[in-house]
Chains A and B, each alone.
Chain A
Amino acid sequence: MTPEILRVEELKVHYPLRSGFLQGLSGAVKKVVRAVDGVSFSIGEGEVFALVGESGCGKTTTGKAVLDLLEPDCVSGKIEFLGKDLLRMKTMEMKQFRRRAQMIFQDPYQSLNPRETVYDIVSEPLAIHRLARSKADRRERVAASLEDAGLKPALDFLERYPYELSGGQRQRVAIAAALIMEPRFLVADEPVSMLDVSVRADILKLMVSLRDRYRISYLFITHDLALSWVLADHAAIMYLGKIVEMGPAEAVIQKPLHPYSQALVEVMPQPEPRAGRTRTILRGEAPNPVQMPSGCRFHPRCPIPLPRCNEEEPALQELESGRRAACWRL
């Protein structure tokens, strides 16, 4: 039984919408954007957990909430990292947490300070957490981290600026900056979606090798089911702020149970000739999270709704071992 690194229970992220002056006067109910509305999952040591969904489903918000990067007022629920509740941590404990839990961002062209050299960028964590004993020590650690991230020879890269590097190289710099603190947990938010297709595999393989070598756990946020297929141990599919299906990645993708998961799997573009492909293409788009449908959030677009779906929201129930889905048909 692998030790648990992260446990999330009933995580909610609600953003209040500023109501107009008159609305405020009349005492009307303040509108709230329920970006994440009760999400629960856990990640074990060395596990890759994929959080899959389309834009607006709340997956990135979940990732940021788990690293305490959001306005504390908007976040509620329980986030336990190595047994300690994140939302109740004191400053010293927070600093320790930041060392152990890091994030890889989506846009390698924007996530590095354009005015800093690679050395500055990768050594910043050492300065923040006082991890190096001397300048020489710092330099050595930076070089080691860069090599770990696949930038060899490291010395060539130290004095370069981000604009001199390709997208893949920039992403490696970001990974090196995270690695230098010896983290236990990484949130990867669409880490390869802005890279050229032929470069993606290298970065993903790097992430896997780091997992193998250092027993790092990943929360892998993506819209691409195919990536979840090749990388993830467990997968959770999100829709409008809630998890609709969760379980071992293989099972969820090969035999999806929830109608939304099924549609998502069917619609995934595959490099195969089209003859004989049957797909359910859902109509319309996900509604605005401010106007949440009644009952099951998915029911307006569901190809097989029941009358009950309009009235009551289904909870995430355990079906087969380790598999959960939220649907009245199951």
Chain B
Amino acid sequence: MPLLDVQDLHASFVIRQGTVRAVDGVSFTLEEGESLGLVGESGCGKTTAALSLLRLLPPNGRIDSGKILYQGRDVLTFNAEEVRRFRWKEISIIFQGAMNALNPVQRVGDQIAEAIRLHQPISQKEAGKQAQALLERVELEGRRINDYPHEFSGGQRQRVMIAMALACRPRIVIGDEPTTALDVMVQAQIFELVESLRKELGMAMILITHDLSVLGDTCDRAAVMYAGQIVEIGPIEILFQSPCHPYARCLLRSFPRLQGPRSMADSIPGTPPNLIEVPPGCRFHPRCQEVMAICSREQPLLLERGPRHNVACHLYGKGIDDA
């Protein structure tokens, strides 16, 4: 049984102009200790999907339908107390932009200790000691538990976020663009740290990013999202070397490689669709170079193409030969 099994998740949120169908039929599985990348451009619904797993949507958001099976139990049926115990103990999240997620007027050690004590009945002192140990685990000095967030650099604050996310030794860690706005060197350090901690603690990870290129160092598998849906999901080698979905291929080409030719591929024409009024059929069809007649009529299903490799595209549908 997979550790996490998301089945046909639908989530939306309401704004003045209408209802945004941010997550519109997303399904994927995550095994113990596996790392999955969720990649897509801004507005594709990846953050909403991740927040749904923790049931942390904003007040104007809601989960419309679907199942989130964690070790076989549907998270969406949990009552408030079960959700509280589930959050952070089983699955935690490293937010983007630590400065927004850390309380600026509370010492860093206290914030970590608070997270610990919410799930373990231990004393303040004991939690403080664990917080110190955690800081050292993330390569910061233990005595800095008494420092405030503004006394750390950007990269160091992300390390504090990581320490907090690991405080209760969850089975799954979600990283929501954890290194955006950090320098490449610091980014590499953070990923190296997360990887080593992950291996050591046997955690699974879902890494959300818009930057396809960071997946190579961290993920076993990746899912490419577009307009609220997963268009392709599979092992990272396949996604980098021979992606099937036209959008996945375009996305890959947008990242120039240092070993490749000194040229840029074309941008994808058009803009991502408005998630309030989605186009009929395949969401990507207005921008697709390989569009066919059926694409504007029917939405392609996410079908298996290889071992744990699924694609949602009519080019690979039933009864159509490989292109």
CB contact list, A126-183 vs B, under 8 A: 166
With A166-B271, A270-B216, A273-B236 as known contacts, state yes or no: A225 contacts B258, CB within 8 Å: yes
Contact of A271 among B187, B210, B257, B267 (CB under 8 A): B257
Contacts of A166 in B (CB 8 A): 271
Q: Which of B45-53, B74-82, B247-255 contacts A (4 or more CB under 8 A)?
A: B247-255
Do residues A198 and B254 form an inter-chain contact, with CB atoms below 8 A? yes
Contact of B240 among A54, A272, A279 (CB under 8 A): A272
Q: Which of A74-82, A107-115, A260-268 contacts B (4 or more CB under 8 A)?
A: A260-268
A263, A264, A267 pick with most chain B CB within 10 angstroms:
A267
Contacts of A283 in B (CB 8 A): 189
Do residues A198 and B257 form an inter-chain contact, with CB atoms below 8 A? no
With A197-B211, A281-B188 as known contacts, state yes or no: A54 contacts B267, CB within 8 Å: no
Query: In the bound complex, how far is the Cα of B252 from the Cα of A200, in angstroms?
Result: 13
With A197-B41, A229-B256, A285-B186 as known contacts, state yes or no: A269 contacts B237, CB within 8 Å: no
Contacts of A198 in B (CB 8 A): 41, 250-251, 254, 267-268
Do residues B210 and A269 form an inter-chain contact, with CB atoms below 8 A? no
Count contacts on A: residues with CB < 8 A to the other chain.
38
Do residues B258 and A201 form an inter-chain contact, with CB atoms below 8 A? no
Contacts of B215 in A (CB 8 A): 271
Min Cβ gap B40→A in Å is 10
Min Cβ gap B261→A in Å is 9
Do residues A271 and B42 form an inter-chain contact, with CB atoms below 8 A? no
Chain B's closest residue to A253 (CB) is B258
Q: Render B201-214 as a binary contact track against A, CB cut-off 8 A, 1 for contact.
A: 00000000011111
Flag whether A18 is at the interface (Cβ < 8 A).
Answer: no
Contact of A273 among B156, B237, B271 (CB under 8 A): B237
**CB-defined A-B contacts under 8 Å, sample of 25:** A54-B183, A55-B183, A196-B42, A196-B210, A197-B41, A198-B251, A198-B267, A200-B254, A200-B267, A201-B264, A204-B264, A226-B256, A229-B258, A229-B262, A230-B264, A250-B262, A264-B184, A264-B185, A269-B216, A271-B213, A271-B252, A281-B189, A283-B189, A285-B185, A285-B186
What is A's interface to B at a CB cutoff of 8 Å?
Answer: 54-55, 166, 196-202, 204-205, 223, 225-227, 229-230, 250, 253-254, 263-265, 267-274, 277, 279, 281-283, 285
